Structure 1
């Protein structure tokens, strides 16, 4: 089953492509160093990917700074690539003189890392907009980068030029987009509207504090909230049969992995229990009203737009209605918040309103039974759903009744 996981297959494909590219470029198919290196890369890449993700997530959580997070991802890949090219040259796959004009081992490693990071960013941005599949897009991006880098080591003028262009273009785009995002979070226009997206599973006091602070700090006229219907990660995994709904309990759908699950994918970064969309929507509206924010905050429900294009489509709808007013994107520094930040950054000139999460308030804690972390009305809803579940009632119906559904 391990070898059937998409991440494992992706890694093995990259290792095989690397072997074919350098073997063909330098007639080195029988080189022991190349064989060993590509075998290691094929099996190691999925673990490296998780490691680099965690570094970026750790930095983001403590800084809410896109540029620092990307730098944290960049540094280990640069070190990894330096090791690769040292082995390729010392192992006799190609002479070190072939890459002298590219800055030697360090120069080649730097350029290929820049290109790789930038192209993967583009690949993921396209998949987020339903253009291609996430894994296939990343595979295509990495494949192009591997082939171009292998050609560059031939020392030919045209291949060197292509490699330099690819590295600097995608590397610059990758870092400039992040720097501009961080700059907009510090140098923003006051006034306009705010948007706040997330799972709100359920909405809690920190969500409300972020909204209130954003309104006061940036002088916002209005803030629009919208929650996920079904998180895209789950929708796609359900479609592929990698996860399933094990049961419904206390107004929540409880997910579990299936035998087809990818061993390297974290399907439940924010937990495997989700209140139904209608329930979360009712909780959001109740919490906003109870917090006295009803005149400034509107809870939207655009399920058709979300189904067609996720938060990108919802945000486009809001921007069309806002006209020339500046738009501010509210988010926390946790994993879900930084995912939302990437949507803001990919949707045009939006001013991020990042807040570093330092409190102990979380939706996970609420779902686990903690009290006092949300508003009294939302807490009452949760208690009623729990009681209906304990009584053996069909909690989906109980949840629907609580939120005014037939």
Structure 2
């Protein structure tokens, strides 16, 4: 890479909101502990604060990967949250140990909250709870996700500094918030896992996801869930434009670069945050209207179309996301038991979190072990989609003006399928 390229990369890193947030947290960490423990010139505190200020974004990515691994390995919410909790606890324990050994902390104050082990436990529980709360509020259109998390973490950080210094009211609030968040976070996860294992039969299934494109594992999940849970029907609703992407498009951090074989190819702009993964499930997207048509065609070909309803609530989704879609389904089917289908990949567990937030929904999950992947299909893998989906994708790749499949005709406008030609 040229010197100019390195300079541009460094400039984007410095301008990154995540980089600035990390620097702010590092500075706030120093000021909070220096004030509470009167350790303004302590080398251990200065070193820890600098480390946090530089490496916080990388640490956050590692925490996300640990949670994703645990989700895929075990398929339980509790497992995923433990997967995130354990490395965060180890990190916080190391930080407190370094500062305590280096003389940056008041030993009597630390003893009052259980020493390094107790302080790390409580602050990790509070930190995890605050992060989930920040994301929860963002998903409901309240605030910016990074700003929500930053405000919460800042409050937690200052409170921890005062509590570990032995300030009575701060110590009491610190313990209540930490254990309270811990009880809610892991309690909700445990109740969700129990509902998934001991769910009664009967009712309606709901199945959300990108379905980009709809593949054989999706079909297998529908058939198994209908049988195992004795469902009357399953309502599928594809993701339209995820809130993360919608916000990024609004801020001009993302753009559609080109069309490739019917897929819209997203790319980041110079305004994008270099520390944010905008494409956790890939950067190639079929338009929502096309994904809806593929689902309808696939379930009809599989002979289960009479028990599958493909919903497309654009206004509701754009305004309130899948939470709004669930509310609309509950209103249309009052008192009916709902079962939420999902996989254990990143998107599947994200949907599971939405199910848990929206009331007493019984999760039905499948561990992904068959190597069927929408990502692989987008890269050209064959044999992973039903015959009709394979046929439509081939026609989209050829960019024919009219797509004919399953006895239906669609106008093809740069990958957007509209029926009624």
Query: TM-score, normalising length from structure 2?
Result: 0.92
Q: Distance in 1 between matches of 2:169 and 2:29?
A: 20
Q: Distance in 2 between matches of 1:33 and 1:389?
A: 66
Query: Does residue 1:87 correspond to 2:98, yes or no?
Result: yes
Q: Pick one of 270, 276, 279 that aligns with 1:259.
A: 270
Structure-1 residue corresponding to 2:374 = 363
Map of 1:291-306 to 2, 5 A cutoff? 291-306=302-317
- Tell me by how many angstroms 1:398 deviates: 5.4
Q: Distance in 2 between matches of 1:399 and 1:138?
A: 37
Query: Does residue 1:336 correspond to 2:352, yes or no?
Result: no
Q: Distance in 1 between matches of 2:354 and 2:39?
A: 44
Q: Distance in 1 between matches of 2:73 and 2:131?
A: 24
The superposition leaves residues 221-254 of structure 1 with CA deviations (integer Å, 9 ceiling, x where unpaired) of 1100000111222111111222211012322211
The superposition leaves residues 28-63 of structure 1 with CA deviations (integer Å, 9 ceiling, x where unpaired) of 222222111101011111111100110110111122
Q: Pick one of 376, 393, 399 that aligns with 1:388.
A: 399
Q: Distance in 2 between matches of 1:369 and 1:120?
A: 37
Map of 1:232-247 to 2, 5 A cutoff? 232-247=243-258
Query: What SS class does the counterpart of residue 388 from structure 1 fall into?
Result: coil
Structure-2 residue corresponding to 1:230 = 241
Q: Pick one of 41, 62, 76 that aligns with 2:52.
A: 41
Map of 1:9-158 to 2, 5 A cutoff? 9-158=20-169
Structure-1 residue corresponding to 2:415 = 399
Distance verdict in 2 for CA 1:272–1:398, change over 3 Å: closer
Structure-2 residue corresponding to 1:271 = 282
The superposition leaves residues 201-236 of structure 1 with CA deviations (integer Å, 9 ceiling, x where unpaired) of 110111011011001000001100000111222111
- Tell me by how many angstroms 1:396 deviates: 5.7
RMSD of aligned alpha carbons: 1.6
Map of 1:311-326 to 2, 5 A cutoff? 311-326=322-337
Structure-2 residue corresponding to 1:161 = 172
Q: Pick one of 279, 287, 295 that aligns with 1:284.
A: 295
Structure-1 residue corresponding to 2:15 = 4
Query: Does residue 1:347 correspond to 2:358, yes or no?
Result: yes
CA contact (8 A) 1:11 1:44 kept: yes
Q: Pick one of 375, 382, 387 that aligns with 2:386.
A: 375
CA contact (8 A) 1:124 1:134 kept: yes
Query: What SS class does the counterpart of residue 295 from structure 1 fall into?
Result: helix
Count of residue pairs the alignment pairs up: 401
Query: What SS class does the counterpart of residue 30 from structure 1 fall into?
Result: coil
Q: Distance in 1 between matches of 2:387 and 2:278?
A: 31
Q: Distance in 1 between matches of 2:391 and 2:124?
A: 52
Q: Distance in 2 between matches of 1:119 and 1:270?
A: 25
Query: TM-score, normalising length from structure 1?
Result: 0.96
- Tell me by how many angstroms 1:101 deviates: 2.0
| Structure 2 residue ranges without an equivalent (≥5) | 1-11, 402-410
Q: Distance in 1 between matches of 2:139 and 2:377?
A: 29
CA contact (8 A) 1:252 1:396 kept: no
Structure-2 residue corresponding to 1:202 = 213
The superposition leaves residues 132-185 of structure 1 with CA deviations (integer Å, 9 ceiling, x where unpaired) of 111001101111110110110221221211111111111111110111110110
CA contact (8 A) 1:7 1:262 kept: yes
- Tell me by how many angstroms 1:89 deviates: 1.5
Structure-1 residue corresponding to 2:198 = 187
Q: Distance in 2 between matches of 1:102 and 1:386?
A: 62
Which ranges of 4 or more aligned residues in structure 1 deviate by more than 6 Å? none
- Tell me by how many angstroms 1:113 deviates: 0.8
